[in-house]
Amino acid sequence: MHFEAFFTQFPNVAEHETRVLTVLKNADTKLPVGEYGFVEFFCKDRKCDCRRVMVQVFGPDMEKTGRPTAVFSYGWEPKSFYRSWFPFLPDEELNWFKGPAIDPYQPQSQYSQELFGAFLEMLKDKNYKERIIRHYVMQKQKSGMKTPKDLLPWSSGMRDCGCGSGLKFKDCCGKDCFGRR
């Protein structure tokens, strides 16, 4: 699977909707002071409906290390959905696809576990989880994938655009998804 950052297709929406954790001086954490962006990546394959997000955490050490501070996966569907995609996988590996999970295939920093705890806290926010699904649908529509019926509620162009313009999504950042009439 090839993943693409959400911000490459929808920079204005990503600018307003990407979660950022700010660690201040004297904070009760082992994380270095700075900002940690939880950047969403989605599969580019228009034939794939994996319903997962890869979250790369871009922290203050990224400039020095040249790689994300942590990488997580999150699949929001029931485990049975992923079992139908990967019937051959053992449960342990299938749990990684379902997520949330620390990506076992990517290098992780010494801060990955603590950042994963922050990600789990973020996922307790219903609006954040819904935003991830909406971003998935937006990215898939942009790639040309036909939206499955059960994801149609997330594809409405009549929602306000996430970029803060005050326009409806179909008339703003989503105009390439819905086309002009």
Stated pTM of the model: 0.85
Q: What is the dihedral of CA 113, 117, 120, 121, to 10 degrees?
A: -160
* CA–CA dist 92, 113 (Å, integer): 18
C-alpha 158: how far from chain center: 22
The residue type found at 144 is: G
* CA–CA dist 24, 33 (Å, integer): 5
CB contact set of 108 (below 8 Å; sequence gap of 6+): 70, 71, 102
- Smallest CA-to-CA distance from 139 within 8, 2, 1 is with 8
Domains of the chain, residue spans = 3-147
Give pLDDT tens digits along the chain (181 positions). Answer: 689 999 999 998 999 999 999 999 988 999 999 999 999 999 988 888 999 999 999 999 888 888 999 999 999 999 999 999 889 989 888 888 888 999 988 999 999 999 999 999 999 999 999 999 999 998 888 888 887 777 876 666 656 666 667 777 777 766 665 544 3
